Amino acid sequence: MNKNPQQQMVDKMGYDRSITMFSPDGRLLQVEYAKKTVKQGSTAIGIACKDGVVFVSDKRVTSKLLVPEAIEKMFKIDDHIAANAAGIISDARVLVDRAQLKAQQHAVTYDSKIDILSIVKDMCDLKQICTQSAGLRPFGVSLLVGGVEEDGTVKLFLTEPYGLYFQYRAAVIGEGDVEIDAMLQKRYKPNLSVDEGLRLGLSVLKEFLKEEFNFERVDAAYIDVNSKRYTKLSDEELKKYVK
Give the tens place of pLDDT for each residue, 164-199: 999 999 999 999 999 999 999 999 998 999 999 999
* DSSP 8-state symbol, 28: -
> Half-sphere exposure (CA, 13 Å, Cβ side) for 31?
20
* Higher-confidence position of 20 and 87: 87
Domains detected in the chain: 29-61+72-238 (3.60.20.10)
Instruction: Report the distance separating Cα 147 and Cα 190, nearest Å.
Output: 16
Per-residue pLDDT band for 10 (boundaries 50, 70, 90) equals very low
Looking at the chain, the whole-number percentage of residues with pLDDT higher than 70 is 94
Q: In what order do the strands lie in the sheet with 230-232?
A: 170-173, 44-49, 52-58, 218-224, 230-232
pLDDT digits (tens, 9 = 90+) for 118-173: 999 999 999 999 999 888 899 999 999 999 999 999 999 999 999 999 999 999 99
Region of residue 111 (left: phi > 0; alpha: psi -120 to 50; beta: else): left
